[in-house]
């Protein structure tokens, strides 16, 4: 289990309950996911608890809501999952995380060129995955 996650819960006087642990690890391995898929993937946690836990996670900035492939999904924030971008299949909805340091540096440089201090950005590339092209 992630140390920063445990420390943050402790700081907010929240215990590491089974639902919190399961939700966090599942998002870490398989996020971003629509809430419905998260519920389906965790039959041991009831639906209301998933919603309530996500609410707590949002307040603590552990997760964020993103729109990817036109679908609302939840994913861990950059603090808990390294910053990345998404490739999204417009046919089946498959999402792949991509990372690339030169893109990050280039975006920061471009922002600076325009007098901006870059804080966050999201990049999504839409297209067809390998399966859907076949």
- 32: preceding bond cis by omega (within 30 degrees): yes
Residue closer to Zn ion, measured from CB, 37 or 104:
104
HSE on the CB side for 58, CA within 13 Å? 11
Q: Does 109 bind Zn ion (CB under 5 A)?
A: no
Q: Does 89 bind Zn ion (CB under 5 A)?
A: yes
Q: Does 105 bind Zn ion (CB under 5 A)?
A: no
> Could you tell me how many residues of this chain bind Zn ion (CB under 5 A)?
7
Q: Does 26 bind Zn ion (CB under 5 A)?
A: no
Q: Does 132 bind Zn ion (CB under 5 A)?
A: yes
Q: Does 94 bind Zn ion (CB under 5 A)?
A: yes
Helix, strand, or coil (residue 7)? helix
Residue closer to Zn ion, measured from CB, 21 or 94:
94
Q: Tell me the closest approach of the beta carbon of residue 125 to Zn ion, in angstroms.
A: 12
CA distance 23 to 9: 14
Question: CB neighbours (10 Å) of residue 107?
Answer: 13
DSSP string, 53-90: HHHHHHHTTSEEEEEETTEEEEEE-TTTS---EEEEET
Chain centroid, CA 4 distance in Å = 16
Q: Does 129 bind Zn ion (CB under 5 A)?
A: yes
Q: Tell me the closest approach of the beta carbon of residue 40 to Zn ion, in angstroms.
A: 19
Residue closer to Zn ion, measured from CB, 23 or 89:
89
**Binding residues for Zn ion (CB under 5 A):** 89, 91-92, 94, 104, 129, 132
């Amino acid at each position: 289990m992630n140390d920063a996650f445990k420390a943050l819960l402790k700081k907010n006087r929240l215990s590491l309950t089974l639902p919190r642990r399961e939700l966090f690890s599942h998002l870490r391995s398989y996020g971003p996911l629509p809430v419905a898929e998260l519920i389906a993937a965790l039959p041991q946690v009831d639906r209301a608890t998933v919603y309530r836990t996500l609410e707590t996670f949002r307040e603590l900035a552990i997760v964020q809501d993103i729109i990817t492939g036109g679908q609302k999904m939840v994913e861990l924030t950059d603090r808990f999952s390294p910053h990345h971008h998404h490739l999204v299949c417009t046919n089946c909805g498959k999402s792949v995380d991509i990372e690339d340091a030169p893109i990050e540096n280039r975006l920061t440089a471009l922002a600076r060129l325009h007098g901006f201090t870059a804080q966050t950005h999201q990049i999504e590339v839409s297209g067809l995955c390998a399966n859907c092209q076949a």
